[in-house]
Amino acid sequence: MEMFSSGIFWALLGASFATLFACIGSAKGVGIASEAASGVVAEDPSKFGKMIVLQLLPGTQGLYGFVVTVMIFLNTGIIGGNYDISLTQGLLYFAASLPVAFGGLLSAIAQGRAAAAGISIVAKRPEESSKAIVSTTLVEFYALLSFLISILAVLPISGMQV
C-alpha cells in the first residue's frame, strides 16, 4: 500500500490516463469514420482525398492526451530520472490529467460519429465536403477545451510547494 502514498505513482497514473483514454477514444472515433469511408471509397476511389480528412479528425484527441503526458513527464522529472514530487503534487497531476483523458475519450467517439455522418454527405454530394468537415470540427471544440484545462492545470504544479 506504500505505492499509493507515492507522488510519482499518482503522476504516472495521471499521465497514463491522459494518453490511454484519449487514444482509446481516438482509435474508436477513427475506426468509426474509417468504416464509413471504406464503403464509399470501394464504390468510388476518387473520393479518397475527401474522406481522409474526415477520418483523421477524431485522431487529434489522442495527440492531446500524449502532449499532456509528455508535459507531466517533463514537469515531474520522469524524463531525466530526477523525480522527487510530493503526494499532493502527484495527486494534482492525476487530477489535471482527467479532463483530457475523459474529454478526449468521449469527444473522439462523438467526432467519429459526426465524421461518419459527414462521409455519407460526401458520398452523395462531394462538393459539400467542407460542410461535412465543419460539422465534424464542431466536436473538436470540446476536445480542445479539455486539452487546455489539462495544460493549464499541469503547468503550475511543479512550482507549488505542497
60: domain CATH number?
Answer: 1.20.120.610
φ, ψ of residue 84 in degrees (nearest 5): -145, 90
Q: Considering its fold, how many domains does the chain have in total?
A: 1
Residue 162 domain-assigned? no
Domain membership of residue 102 as a residue range: 2-157
Secondary structure tally for the chain: helices H, strands E:
5, 0
> Which residues make Cβ contacts (< 8 Å) with residue 84, sequence separation at least 6?
77
Taking residues 39-67, what's their average pLDDT? 94
* 160 vs 144: CA distance, rounded Å: 25
* 97 vs 119: CA distance, rounded Å: 32
Cα 158 to chain centroid distance, Å, stands at 23
Residue 57 domain-assigned? yes
Q: For the chain, give the percent of residues with pLDDT over 90.
A: 84
Residue 89 domain-assigned? yes
Taking residues 141-150, what's their average pLDDT? 97
Q: For the chain, give the percent of residues with pLDDT over 70.
A: 99
What's the confidence (pLDDT) of residue 1?
Answer: 64
What's the confidence (pLDDT) of residue 158?
Answer: 87
What separation in angstroms does the CA of 20 have from each of 58, 100, 127, 155? 15, 10, 37, 20
Residue 88 domain-assigned? yes
What confidence category does residue 90 fall into, taking pLDDT thresholds of 50, 70 and 90? Answer: very high
